[in-house]
Amino acid sequence: MEIEQYPSADFNAVATLKWYVDCGVDETISDTPVNWFQYSEKNEQNQDVTIKTATSAKSSANAPLSTNREIIEMAEKLAADAMTLDDLRQAILDFDGCSLKNTASNTVFCDGNSQSDIMLIGEAPGADEDRIGKPFVGQAGQLLDRMFAAINMNRENDFYITNMLPWRPPGNRKPTDGECAMCLPFVRRHIELFNPKMIILIGGTSASALLNVQTGITKLRGKWVEYKLGDQKVPMIPIFHPAYLLRQPQFKKQAWHDLLQIKERLESKESK
């Protein structure tokens, strides 16, 4: 069996780094391990090293907190200044506060019908989405399209779709809480500008971020809540992410139940 090898020395630095990012590598370590337990407070020289190490760790621990707050405030200002969806797209393109932008190939903003009343919010782009520049175009996106086709809905006519994060996390890992916090101002402004009549949260990441809870998707799914949008209260429901259903097909029955709830809610609104 042929095994794919890591990049050879003939690769240029950028290509090699890109390969590591695609594999999910997001930090480097030294070739030589350090045994920090060998330092003794009784030894003056080692005590100096210990104190300096502790001080450095404390500084680096405090810095990200203030930096993250400043980054979130920057995102909030850029988002608030956007008056249209095109403005918001440009604001996200101009935002350099999230390091994911540096490793992504594309900024993935939206897809679907911008004139519809239904907004779907997913997690983050995957490899296919990052390459093409549109959300939900890979295997999970194809399943999503089939799911909504089962209740006579499609993205060309019936709904609009975006993600919590516009950039792909390395190796398709789950977005961190910090990354979601940085991008949340853009998502909230996206909702305001789109002004949906219904919001569907696809997966646990968007559900926990917008509901501000740590509860898992298995407990959140299928339960209607209200999203306050100005003086309106927009019905919002979390559902399983199609990528999760591809890994755990036994939950497709619950997913179908949630889709039927959505269909029933839409039909009841149309009949009024």
Which residues, in sequence order, are bridge partners of residue 235?
226
What number is the average pLDDT over the span 88-105? Answer: 96
Using an 8 Å Cβ cutoff, are 241 and 204 in contact?
A: yes
Average pLDDT, rounded, for the chain = 85
Domain total in the chain? 1
Q: How far is CA 99 from the centre of its chain?
A: 13
Amino acid 43 reads N
The answer to whether residues 207 and 217 touch, using CB atoms and an 8 Å cutoff, is yes
In this structure, the dihedral spanned by the alpha carbons of residues 101, 103, 106 and 111, taken in order and rounded to 10 degrees, is -70
| 103 Cβ contact list (under 8 Å, min separation 6) | 18, 21, 167, 168, 170
CATH number at residue 105: 3.40.470.10
Instruction: Report pLDDT for 16.
Output: 66
Q: Which residue has the tokens 């500084």?
A: 59
Structural domain includes residue 180: yes
Tell me, what's the pLDDT at 269?
79
**pLDDT digit string, tens, across residues 206-262:** 999 999 999 999 999 999 999 999 999 999 999 999 999 999 999 999 999 999 999
Residue 30 lies in a domain: no
At residue 31 the predicted structure's pLDDT band, cuts being 50, 70 and 90, is: low
Whether the predicted pLDDT of 98 surpasses 50: yes
Cα(71)–Cα(3) distance, rounded to whole angstroms?
42
Query: 247 is written with which tokens?
Result: 């890994």
pLDDT band of residue 55 (cuts 50, 70, 90) is very low
Question: Residues with Cβ < 8 Å from 255, sequence gap 6 or more?
Answer: 147, 221, 239, 240, 245
217 token code pair = 């998707």
Decide if 31 is inside a domain: no
pLDDT score at 48: 41
19 is a domain residue: no
Query: What's the pTM value of the predicted model, to 2 decimals?
Result: 0.77
- Please give the Cα distance from 242 to 224 (Å, whole number): 19
> Is 100 part of any domain?
yes
Angle between helices 177-194 and 44-81 (to 10 degrees): 10
**Domain with 255 in it:** 62-271
DSSP labels for 133-148?
TSSS-SHHHHHHHHHH
Per-residue pLDDT band at 1 (split at 50, 70, 90)? very low
For the chain, the first-to-last Cα distance in angstroms comes to 62
Q: Is 55 contained in some domain? A: no
Residue 15 — pLDDT band, cuts 50, 70, 90?
A: low
Instruction: Supply the pLDDT for residue 11.
Output: 54
Q: Are the C-beta atoms of residues 259 and 148 closer than 8 Å to each other? A: yes
Q: How confident is the model at residue 28 (pLDDT cuts 50, 70, 90)?
A: low
Question: Is the distance from CB of 252 to CB of 243 less than 8 angstroms?
Answer: no
Question: Torsion angle, CA of 197/79/221/155, rounded to 10 degrees?
Answer: 60
Structural Rg of the chain based on CA atoms: 22
Share of the chain above pLDDT 90, in %: 73
Distance of CA 131 to the CA centre of its chain: 16
Over residues 158-172, mean pLDDT: 97
User: Model confidence over 174-206: pLDDT tens digits?
Assistant: 999 999 999 999 999 999 999 999 999 999 999
CA distances to 9, 41, 195, 272 from 235, rounded to whole Å, are: 55, 60, 12, 16
Domain membership of residue 27 (yes or no) is: no
Q: Lowest-pLDDT range, 35-49, 110-124, 175-189?
A: 35-49
Asked if residue 81 is part of any domain, the answer here is yes
pLDDT of residue 68: 85
Beta strands of the chain (E only): which ranges?
111-112, 118-122, 160-163, 198-202, 225-229, 232-239
